[in-house]
């Protein structure tokens, strides 16, 4: 009788557990809402005007700026060899059409045809017309800069005032120089860039200094390279940091720091540190920021006390 009573008690507890869903059922939560990162106005601007198109949409006469001295290995000259003594840098290649060939009797593959100063060149796509259309295929020819894109960028940006986000500027010889960031610049011209970053934005800052930066015309979500939204802002960033005093803001634009700046101001100036150390001292907790460049900062009570850049 006592054993039966124990069984009844246990069964009762199990039934209660099943009905309440507390003891044996995990916590039920609603699926998290998908968070989509809002596209920046700058990224949306580029995405609106520079839409990827396949080479099947190229018109006869489309032109490309060539950035290398030598002929790329992806090209075949109409003649068996192309003289090394002839520099191609800065020359214009014109698209003259395509042919379909099947040299080994298989499917016909598209060969793109170009001309430069009377010389003819071929690019084997190794793709059929159907594949090119389906994939919106555009050949990867690193020395080529699409002059249609360059002209479009020039028409959209030349004369505009933007706010530059990077202090890594370049002079007329293409040498890196120390610039300023988060300051207004007027776009003076859009020029051909290089094999990796095809566009150079040439500008003048609010102090009359002229310089350039290189970028890609792809949007950030399609490129790991330096894009327009990573270099420029349409809005004045100073308005987001009105609490920062003018003296500290001037240091930030120069990517410098000074004693007394806050952690937020130093981060805005130099970026996130690569390592942070908490150091106990007799007077309290001291914090050290370390950068891979060799720079370090020390903070006491949240304010910069000493540093080395």
Tens digit of pLDDT for each residue in 125-183?
999 999 999 999 999 899 999 999 999 999 999 999 999 999 999 999 999 999 999 99
pLDDT of residue 48: 92
Nearest CA-CA partner of 212 in 191, 194, 237, 198: 191
pLDDT of residue 160: 97
126 Rama sector, left if φ>0, alpha if ψ -120 to 50, beta otherwise: left
Query: Which carries the bigger pLDDT value, residue 12 or residue 188?
Result: 188
Tell me what percent of the residues of the chain surpass a pLDDT of 70.
87
Cβ(296)–Cβ(308) below 8 Å: yes
> Would you place residue 277 in the very low, low, confident or very high pLDDT band (cuts 50, 70, 90)?
very high
pLDDT of residue 8: 37
> Would you place residue 12 in the very low, low, confident or very high pLDDT band (cuts 50, 70, 90)?
very low
pLDDT of residue 67: 95
pLDDT at residue 26 tops 80: no
pLDDT at residue 38 tops 70: yes
Burial class (CB in 10 A: 0-12, 13-18, 19+), 132: buried
With tokens 């610039």, the residue in question is: 179
Query: Which carries the bigger pLDDT value, residue 85 or residue 233?
Result: 233
CB atoms within 10 A of CB 305: 13
Mean pLDDT for 261-289 is: 92
pLDDT of residue 23: 34
pLDDT of residue 80: 65
Query: Which carries the bigger pLDDT value, residue 85 or residue 256?
Result: 256
pLDDT at residue 253 tops 80: yes
pLDDT at residue 248 tops 60: yes
Measure the CA angle with vertex 121, ends 117 and 126; round to 5°.
155
Measure the CA angle with vertex 196, ends 191 and 198; round to 5°.
20
Nearest CA-CA partner of 74 in 41, 38, 122: 122
pLDDT at residue 189 tops 90: yes
pLDDT of residue 10: 36
Order across the sheet with 296-300: list the strands: 275-281, 284-290, 296-300, 303-308
Which residues are paired to 183 by β-bridges? Answer: 164
pLDDT of residue 36: 52
Mean pLDDT of the chain: 86
pLDDT at residue 47 tops 60: yes
pTM for the structure as a whole: 0.81
> Would you place residue 25 in the very low, low, confident or very high pLDDT band (cuts 50, 70, 90)?
very low
Q: Encoding tokens for residue 51? A: 């839409």
Q: Which of 10-14, 189-193, 245-249, 256-260 has the lowest mean pLDDT?
A: 10-14
């Amino acid at each position: 009788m006592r054993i039966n009573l124990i069984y009844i008690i246990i069964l009762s507890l199990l039934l209660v557990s099943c009905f309440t869903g507390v003891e044996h059922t995990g916590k039920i939560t609603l699926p998290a809402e998908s968070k989509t990162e809002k596209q920046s106005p700058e990224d949306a601007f580029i995405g609106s005007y520079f839409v990827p198109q396949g080479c099947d949409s190229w018109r006869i006469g489309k032109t490309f700026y060539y950035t290398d001295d030598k002929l790329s290995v992806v090209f075949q000259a109409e003649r068996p060899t192309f003289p090394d003594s002839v520099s191609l840098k800065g020359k214009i290649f014109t698209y003259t059409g395509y042919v379909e060939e099947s040299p080994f009797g298989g499917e016909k593959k598209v060969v793109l045809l170009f001309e430069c100063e009377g010389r003819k060149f071929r690019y084997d796509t190794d793709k059929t017309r159907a594949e090119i259309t389906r994939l919106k295929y555009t050949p990867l020819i690193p020395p080529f800069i699409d002059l249609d894109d360059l002209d479009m960028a020039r028409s959209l940006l030349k004369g505009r005032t933007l706010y530059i986000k990077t202090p890594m500027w370049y002079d007329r010889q293409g040498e890196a120089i120390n610039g300023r960031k988060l300051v207004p610049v007027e776009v003076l011209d859009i020029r051909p860039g290089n094999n990796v970053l095809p566009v150079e934005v040439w500008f003048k800052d609010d102090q009359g200094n002229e310089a350039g930066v290189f970028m890609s015309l792809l949007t950030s979500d399609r490129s790991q390279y330096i894009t327009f939204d990573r270099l420029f802002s349409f809005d004045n960033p100073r308005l987001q940091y009105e609490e920062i005093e003018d003296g500290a803001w001037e240091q930030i634009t120069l990517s410098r720091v000074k004693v007394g700046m806050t952690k937020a101001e130093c981060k805005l100036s130099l970026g996130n540190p690569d390592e942070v150390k908490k150091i106990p001292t007799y007077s309290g907790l001291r914090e050290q920021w370390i950068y891979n460049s060799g720079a370090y900062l020390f903070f006491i009570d949240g304010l910069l006390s000493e540093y080395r850049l």
